Chains A and B, each alone.
Chain A
Amino acid sequence: MTAIHPAGEIIESEFASVAVKLDHDGNAVRLRVEDLRTGRVRFLDALELESLVWLADGHLTQLLDPSHERWRG
């Protein structure tokens, strides 16, 4: 395990850097994901995570298109 970051364990590459940890502040546990380059945070609940697991590769690939959300033209 690498150094402990307050936002959780770090998953990073040369292209992105995120931290993930389990969050217990709500009425059930959630996954807290922080984009360390912008500080943007998203919580994912169990049903959302399960849906991600089942996302077809094609769909996931579409999400990676930079113009899909973040840099929509």
Chain B
Amino acid sequence: MTAVVPSPSDVVAEVQEGGSRYDRLIQPARVHGTLYTDPSIFAEELRKIWHRTWVFVGHESEVPQVNDYVRKQLADQDVVMTRDKEGEVHLLINRCAHRGLQVCDDKAGNSSSFRCPYHGWTYRNTGELLGYPYNKGYGGKKQLPLGMGKVARVASYQGFVFGSLAEEGPSLEEHLGAAKGEIDRLVGLSPEGKVSLDAGWLRHKTRSNWKFLAENETDGYHPQFVHGSIFGVTGSPIGELYSDNSTAVTRNLGDGHSENDLRPEFRGFAEPMRWFGTTPDRVPHYVAAMKEAHGDAADRVMIEGAPHVMIFPNLFIAEIQVFNIQPVAVGECVQYSTAVQFDGGHELNMRMVSQSIGSVGPAGMLLADDTEMYERNQRGVAMADPEWLDVRRGLHRESVDENGFTIGTATDETGMRGFWNHYKSLMEAED
């Protein structure tokens, strides 16, 4: 699958002398194809991004009860998300301290303790070693200062659980920065101020570098082309949101995060629930509950709708769907996707499940086509010439909004440039 490509050091050295390796590969208007195909860059990304920064892992609602656990992925790490008896959420690395076996095998369960099947070592669901069989062989009980591996830092925001394998670094809130407001917007659409991600996950194997996905999520240039087939047959107005006539903006939120802000369009219509493709009279209980929760602000919240935000490096909130992107190899990743469920929003929840099934996952009428593009993109960039990908669209017409964020029009590549800026700063950091 990984095609033979010229090594970046050969190719790019000629293009521009001086600067760091990533200065040469990542330029304001273009990025080099080897960023998507070079296994050594992927290995460096694992160290400097996936094992260091905050990575979205799962949601607290996946372990609703004390002692629930669920297996998750954090890049190449098999992780067990647990809720201990105090209700605290942990991310354990699924590896026995004895000889390294995978401790948990089931996808999910409920247990206060985990017993390794190989020799019976037993751990609390906090990772602490509780005991081992025939303890005389170790000089008695509690003789070993060992435990299951742990993701060094675990934090959650509005129930979204993130892990960082680095002991130190920016806090989760610092990492999320302006993206926090987008998560708040999503959660604000629940009358109880709470979302659940408990509708299961689709797992879509994608033969593409993970960055093609991260860039595409807020690429407002592609929908009319890639999704024209479904917009056409369903008469969907979504395509128009991503056209030259649209008042929507693409915003670089900083820290690698970006969004397609569709609010200007929805404010123009000023119709509550239009973002959801419905009207207040069809979801009366929801609207009443929202008015109770938000008072005068309820109409605005229901007009503006849900965010479309890519949170670096792997959490994509696409209005009513959540994606968790995890890399597997330089040319392969997995997209995990699910439907958002609003606590207190039962009139919307089943419809969100149904719409998500129609749109996302391996057979989704939207995402299967995006994924086809990711895979053709991966094959395309393995070709020798031209070596670069162009990311200059809208560079000349960017502006700064009232909050100091760089914005472009609905179809500009402002989000991608924000992604690359942040990516570059992480990759240039010391090992």
Q: Which A positions have Cβ atoms within 8 angstroms of B?
A: 25-30, 43, 45-48
Q: Give B108's nearest chain A residue, CB to CB.
A: A27
The minimal Cβ–Cβ distance linking B72 to chain A, given in whole angstroms, is: 13
Is B109 interfacial (CB 8 A cutoff)? yes
- Contact between chains at B112 and A27 (CB < 8 Å): no
The minimal Cβ–Cβ distance linking A51 to chain B, given in whole angstroms, is: 9
The minimal Cβ–Cβ distance linking A46 to chain B, given in whole angstroms, is: 7
Interface size on B, residues (CB 8 A): 18
- On chain B, the residues within 8 Å of A47 by CB distance are 111-113, 115, 122
Q: Which B positions have Cβ atoms within 8 angstroms of A?
A: 62-70, 106, 108-113, 115, 122
CA–CA, A28 and B71, complex, Å: 13
The minimal Cβ–Cβ distance linking A28 to chain B, given in whole angstroms, is: 4
CA–CA, A47 and B122, complex, Å: 10
Given A27-B108, A27-B109, 4 more A-B residue pairs with CB atoms under 8 Å apart are A26-B65, A27-B70, A47-B115, A48-B112
In the complex where A43-B66, A43-B67, A45-B67 touch, is A26 in contact with B110 (Cβ < 8 A)?
A: yes
Q: Helix, strand, loop or mixed for chain A's interface?
A: loop
Can you list 23 A-B contacts with CB-CB less than 8 angstroms, sorted by A residue number?
A: A25-B64, A25-B65, A26-B65, A26-B66, A26-B67, A26-B68, A27-B62, A27-B64, A27-B68, A27-B69, A27-B108, A27-B109, A27-B110, A28-B68, A28-B106, A28-B108, A28-B109, A28-B110, A30-B65, A30-B67, A45-B67, A45-B110, A45-B111
The minimal Cβ–Cβ distance linking B61 to chain A, given in whole angstroms, is: 11
CA–CA, A59 and B124, complex, Å: 21
- Contact between chains at A27 and B65 (CB < 8 Å): yes
CA–CA, A48 and B124, complex, Å: 11
Q: Which of B63, B70, B112, B122 contacts A45 (CB 8 A)?
A: B112
CA–CA, A32 and B87, complex, Å: 17
CA–CA, A25 and B68, complex, Å: 10
- On chain B, the residues within 8 Å of A29 by CB distance are 110
- On chain B, the residues within 8 Å of A26 by CB distance are 64-68, 110
Of the listed residues B63, B68, B70, the one surrounded by the most CB atoms of chain A closer than 10 A to its CB is B68
- On chain B, the residues within 8 Å of A25 by CB distance are 64-65
- On chain B, the residues within 8 Å of A46 by CB distance are 111
CA–CA, A20 and B336, complex, Å: 38
Q: Give B65's nearest chain A residue, CB to CB.
A: A26
CA–CA, A39 and B57, complex, Å: 37
Of the listed residues A26, A45, A47, the one surrounded by the most CB atoms of chain B closer than 10 A to its CB is A26
- Contact between chains at B111 and A28 (CB < 8 Å): yes
